Amino acid sequence: MKSRWLPFEWIVAIRFLREGRMQTLFIVAGIAIGVAVIVFMSALLAGLQSNFIRRVLTAQSHIQLLPPKEVARALGAADALEDAVVQAPLQRLKSIDQWQSVAAQVRAMPGVEVVSPTASGSALAIRGEASRAVSVNGIDPAQYFLIVALPEKIVRGSTRLTPGDILIGTDLASDLGVGIGDKLRVSSASGGDQTLMVTGLFDLGSKPANQRTTFVALRTAQSLLGLVGGVSSLEVKVRDIYAADVIAQRITAGTGVEADSWIATNAQFFTAVQAQKTSNTTIRFFVGLSVAFGIASVLVVSVVQKSREIGILRAMGISRGQVLRVFLLQGGLLGLLGSLGGAGMGLVALLLWQRYALNPDGTPLFPLAIEPGLFVASLLLATLTGLVAAFAPALRAARLDPVEAIRG
Amino acid sequence: MAEPVVSLRDVHKAFNLGLPNETQVLHGIDLTLARGEFCAVMGPSGSGKSTLLNIVGLLDRPTSGSLRIGGEETRLLDERSLTRLRGHNIGFIFQYHNLLAGFTALENVAMPMLGDAGFSRDDMAQRATALLESVGLAKWRDSMVTQLSGGQQQRVAVARSLAMDPPLLLADEPTGNLDTRSADAVFELLRKANRERGMAVLFVTHNPELAGRCDRIIQVVDGMIRD
């Protein structure tokens, strides 16, 4: 007996919804479909996006600090020579000035997680009569592996990088006919020449990268490339990958060293990501709008249908505010019920996608982002949409003249 | 002398005021209803009986004049205060019972209490049950009102009008749609509430026999009262 007495507004709102059973059923189904579309699309796009980003950032740091480029200047005053032709200078491999203090400064900046020095340059990898042009990356494994998850890419051997070791891509290994434990001569243009032992083979997921990329210890690269004690770049990992652009600007301003974020170096890709986000938001907006109009139209009809009841309630001493709340609640409840159904439908669709959308090797096409936060946000958003959509009909109900309403 | 339950002084009501189709419905009504008084209101259709009841019931405002409910002048009260005053002081019974269709008899009777914060859930249930018993419908308390006969529905409406124990009952032709037996039963219920609870009743009817059983009869003719 006691449990049947919910607050007045709840009892009347629920009963009004129950009375218009078909109406309620159809609008709840409509909301559910809208919410299911939002949930499915959001998870799909979030998965797609994180998959893209994961691929892009697999072999790349979030921010890269580079030494300033060499600029040729005309001697004397700018106007002293007419039609002076200034040739673009050659960009020699050089170190970031005072890189240790720059690294310490960057490491102390908010949002920065890891800073790793790298000495990179071109060289020839030679095995017998075969040789291949490669990119030599001298790294400090302890720091660098926190930025680029190279150990995850190792398909044979280990990540051991003592001064005499080298890690190479699977395609380079195949081109040169080397395996784990084999020796490889690496010779650079600056005259550096070392024989290194292959300790690991990696697969970066891209043939050109697997043919050209090699990793050696920082000191090995410094000596090979003629950068003794120096580094050609500082690789930075930040906490929020989307804040990389802002942090890069802050680094340049604070240290005077040029810093490029992954957003700037992958501008085209990032534009695509932004376009995806915008289209997703647009779809959400229009689905939300159609849900709102659906709820509002059902409630407008309900106000007309229930005007006599509203008049009776007003005659019994029910206030305008209470009538307003009855209809707001109906809107909120429609939104909540629809979004619960929609979240369920969306989840089922996502699970089906995960099960049936597979690569030829049977692995998922890409991992979906099925996060509880998405479902909670959808529930809250739909309920809020219901409340907002109900406001105009609710106001109309509250303003009904009881005499006119009872008279019908 | 005790304060009258209702007091109207020179009440006028016009519709479409200031427009070419302005209609004067009430012309200077003076009416006082004492506690425990059972007053029949008669008059031809369109004479202004329902308008008078709507004004006394605070569902409509007079164009001019004074209306006091329980001694409180209502002219300057805002919407919220009028609603509160109506909820606590006035019970309504309409010709077409006007119950809430999607609710049980018990819920209909409890509805005025449910909308008021001053009742505990137990109080509401006990009180609504007792009221249904008093109108002989305890057996149907959990039935949907649409399952009840016209006479039973009007008895539920009487029970509902008593829920807040108001000092004033306004009944707008409550027996107009009922057969003689049911009409008599409903009238007796109102008479009983009037005698046992001391409620003042304003009872609009076209039935001279029922009007003759009231303490007093007023005739509303062309928007004016003739006792």
Q: What is the pLDDT of residues A328-378, one digit of tens each?
A: 999 999 999 999 999 999 999 999 988 888 877 777 777 777 888 888 988
Residues from chain B contacting residue A312 (CB–CB below 8 Å): 94, 98-100
- Mean predicted confidence (pLDDT) in B25-36: 93
Best mutation target, B25, B82, B83, to test chain A (most A CBs within 10 A): B83
Q: Does a structural domain hold residue B1?
A: no
- Mean predicted confidence (pLDDT) in A65-84: 67
- Mean predicted confidence (pLDDT) in A104-124: 93
Query: Is A313 in Cβ contact with B59 (below 8 Å)?
Result: no
Please give the Cα distance from A63 to A328 (Å, whole number): 50
Residue of A nearest to B107 (CA): A5
The kind and range of the H/E element at A255 are: helix A244-255
- Mean predicted confidence (pLDDT) in B19-30: 91
pLDDT band for B226, please (50, 70, 90 cuts). Answer: confident
Residues from chain A contacting residue B54 (CB–CB below 8 Å): 403
From edge to edge, which strands make up the β-sheet containing B90-93?
A: B90-93, B168-172, B200-204, B38-42, B216-221, B224-226
Amino acid at A211: Q
From edge to edge, which strands make up the β-sheet containing B72-73?
A: B23-33, B6-15, B64-69, B72-73
User: Which residues contact residue A317 at a Cβ distance below 8 angstroms, ignoring those fewer than 6 apart?
Assistant: B83, B84, B86, B87, B88, B90, B112, B115, B116, B164
Please give, rounded to a whole number of angstroms, the shortest distance from the CA of A387 to a CA of chain B. 21
User: For residue A40, how far is the Cα from the chain centroid?
Assistant: 17
Predicted model pTM: 0.72
pLDDT at A201 over 90: yes
Residue B200 is predicted with a pLDDT of 94
| pLDDT tens-digit series, residues B122-175 | 888 899 999 999 888 989 999 999 999 988 999 999 999 999 999 999 999 888
Does residue A36 sit in helix, strand or coil? helix
Please give, rounded to a whole number of angstroms, the shortest distance from the CA of B182 to a CA of chain A. 23
Neighbours of A223 (CB within 10 A): 20
- Mean predicted confidence (pLDDT) in A116-130: 91
Total of domains in chain B: 1
Residue B167 is predicted with a pLDDT of 94
Phi-psi category of A393—alpha, beta or left, where left has phi over 0 and alpha has psi -120 to 50? alpha
| pLDDT tens-digit series, residues A29-55 | 999 999 999 888 888 888 887 787 777
Chain B within 8 Å of A8 (Cβ-Cβ)?
yes
Amino acid at A175: D
- Mean predicted confidence (pLDDT) in A2-22: 82
Mean pLDDT is lowest, of A137-141, A182-186, A358-362, B170-174, for A358-362
- Mean predicted confidence (pLDDT) in A171-197: 92
- Mean predicted confidence (pLDDT) in A229-258: 91
Please give, rounded to a whole number of angstroms, the shortest distance from the CA of A321 to a CA of chain B. 9
Please give, rounded to a whole number of angstroms, the shortest distance from the CA of B122 to a CA of chain A. 7
pLDDT at B44 over 60: yes
Neighbours of B77 (CB within 10 A): 17
Chain B within 8 Å of A15 (Cβ-Cβ)?
yes
Q: Does a structural domain hold residue B203?
A: yes
Query: Is B115 in Cβ contact with A318 (below 8 Å)?
Result: yes
Does residue B9 sit in helix, strand or coil? strand
Chain A within 8 Å of B102 (Cβ-Cβ)?
yes
Q: Is the CB of residue A186 less than 8 Å from the CB of residue A166?
A: yes
Which string of DSSP letters, residue by residue, matches A314-352? HHTT--HHHHHHHHHHHHHHHHHHHHHHHHHHHHHHHHH
Chain A within 8 Å of B101 (Cβ-Cβ)?
yes
Mean residue pLDDT of chain A comes to 87
Q: Does a structural domain hold residue B128?
A: yes
Please give the Cα distance from A184 to A80 (Å, whole number): 54
Query: Is B83 in Cβ contact with A403 (below 8 Å)?
Result: no
Chain B within 8 Å of A3 (Cβ-Cβ)?
no
Please give the Cα distance from B5 to B36 (Å, whole number): 9
Residue A6 is predicted with a pLDDT of 79
Query: Is A322 in Cβ contact with B86 (below 8 Å)?
Result: no
| pLDDT tens-digit series, residues A280-333 | 888 888 888 888 898 889 888 888 888 888 988 998 889 999 999 999 999 999
Residue B97 is predicted with a pLDDT of 67
Q: Does a structural domain hold residue B69?
A: yes
The better pLDDT of the pair A87, B105 is held by: B105
Chain B within 8 Å of A406 (Cβ-Cβ)?
yes
User: For residue B13, how far is the Cα from the chain centroid?
Assistant: 19
Residues from chain A contacting residue B112 (CB–CB below 8 Å): 316-318
| CATH code: domain of residue B42 | 3.40.50.300
- Mean predicted confidence (pLDDT) in B208-226: 91
pLDDT at A90 over 80: no
- Mean predicted confidence (pLDDT) in A5-19: 88
> How much of chain B, in percent, has pLDDT values that exceed 70?
98
> How much of chain B, in percent, has pLDDT values that exceed 90?
63
Query: Is A5 in Cβ contact with B125 (below 8 Å)?
Result: yes
The better pLDDT of the pair A26, A2 is held by: A26
Burial of residue A202, with CB atoms counted within 10 A of its CB: 0-12 exposed, 13-18 middle, 19 or more buried? buried
pLDDT band for A3, please (50, 70, 90 cuts). Answer: very low
Query: Is A315 in Cβ contact with B59 (below 8 Å)?
Result: yes
Residue matched to tokens 């970066």: A204
User: Which residues contact residue A176 at a Cβ distance below 8 angstroms, ignoring those fewer than 6 apart?
Assistant: A125, A127, A130, A132, A184
Please give the Cα distance from B107 to B124 (Å, whole number): 10
Give residue B47's domain range: 6-226
**Option in B59, B87, B107 nearest A403 (CB):** B59
Does residue B216 sit in helix, strand or coil? strand
- Mean predicted confidence (pLDDT) in B206-219: 92
Please give the Cα distance from A251 to A257 (Å, whole number): 7
Q: Directed axis angle between helix A21-56 and helix A372-398, to 10°?
A: 140
Query: Is B83 in Cβ contact with A318 (below 8 Å)?
Result: yes
Residue A75 is predicted with a pLDDT of 64
pLDDT at A69 over 80: no
Chain A within 8 Å of B112 (Cβ-Cβ)?
yes
Best mutation target, A14, A310, A316, to test chain B (most B CBs within 10 A): A316
Residues from chain B contacting residue A8 (CB–CB below 8 Å): 111, 114-115
Q: What count of residues does chain A have?
A: 408
The better pLDDT of the pair A62, A58 is held by: A62
Count how many pairs of residues, chain A against chain B, have C-beta atoms within 8 Å: 73
The better pLDDT of the pair B94, A135 is held by: A135
pLDDT band for A68, please (50, 70, 90 cuts). Answer: confident
Query: Is B94 in Cβ contact with A320 (below 8 Å)?
Result: no
Residue A2 is predicted with a pLDDT of 42
Please give, rounded to a whole number of angstroms, the shortest distance from the CA of B98 to a CA of chain A. 7
